[in-house]
Amino acid sequence: MPSNLQEEARRLGSSLEGSPQMVPTAVPRLAQILQLAAADEMVVEEAVDALGKAWDASAAQALLDAVRLDHPSAAVRLALARALPGGVVTAGPLRDRVVAALTQLSTDEHARVRDWAAFGLGQVEADSPAARDALAARLHDPDPQARCEALLALARTGDHRAVDALLQRLDGADDDLWRQELEAAAVLADPALHEALERLGQEWAGDQDEFTDVLALARARCRPDAAGQAAAAEARTLRAVRAALPAGVTAQLRHAYPRTVVAIAHASLGEIELALWGELENPWAYDATAVLNAVAGTFGGLPADRRR
């Protein structure tokens, strides 16, 4: 029978789901429960799971302060890997600690912990050398879910080791190819993958299943001429952004497809970067609406006596 603290942690977790107004009261109490029941792994697991539902940086702080990464319970470590990334989006010491914790958990002896740790590193967009190396170390993980989550997270950093690993998988593609591997190919948008993807498309011609759309997207994004098509779309978007900006605000492109951003600078507001290429963006069907809406939402209230 669950203990009173376990039941309380469960109730607090339920209260946090979709209710950010509960964070100021629920998170401190859950942190207290972690301290009171540190030796009861079932209570700890329930409290960790509940904190993961807060989707707030204060919950990640409480977890890092109270729960050992080498906790003897695999269930607790799994709950921790699931909970830590929630709400941690701002660069800084806390995000660095979360990345370091997930990096350590990605080496866990239990496959599900490694799986969720790799997924979490992707969630927080971990891009440090240590995080990349940890993800690369999982590219040949014996567990396919852990391997695929690591591949997708590493692909999001643009690390070429993801391309090399994916080429090996595509060259020997058979029925055990995972959807995340094709998603990783689309994310990478690397022309080195195009030939293998085209071959796969020919082999699977006529199929209509969960792989169909993502394979089509990967083939389009990896085409050798995709970068040129993307550059034309980026130039059009930059002109539209500049036309929408008030006087005194500048915009320029940085980086390159598929990681191009438009950097917008204002003397008092500082600089923001807006990514032009989401993971589902096709260079031949690019829609700048989201970027222009973000520009309008940020700068629409500024004086607009002159347009660029």
Q: Where are the domains of the chain?
A: 1-87, 226-299
Residue 247 CA to residue 104 CA, distance in Å, equals 48
Residue 117 CA to residue 107 CA, distance in Å, equals 9
Residue 20: what pLDDT?
Answer: 93
The H or E element that residue 239 is part of is helix 226-244
Residue 263: what pLDDT?
Answer: 96
Residue 219: what pLDDT?
Answer: 97
Residue 61: what pLDDT?
Answer: 96
Positions in the chain short of pLDDT 70: 1-2, 173-175, 300-308
CB atoms within 10 A of CB 253: 16
Name the DSSP class of 55: -
Q: What share of the chain is helix, strand, coil (3-state, %, to 5)?
A: 60, 5, 35
Task: Evaluate whether 222 touches 185 at the Cβ level (below 8 Å).
Answer: yes
Residue 175: what pLDDT?
Answer: 60
CA angle 254, 260, 265 (to 5 degrees): 45
**Token pair recorded at residue 37:** 């029941």
Q: What is the pLDDT of residues 79-96, one digit of tens each?
A: 999 999 998 888 899 999
Residue 248: what pLDDT?
Answer: 84
**Token pair recorded at residue 93:** 């010491």
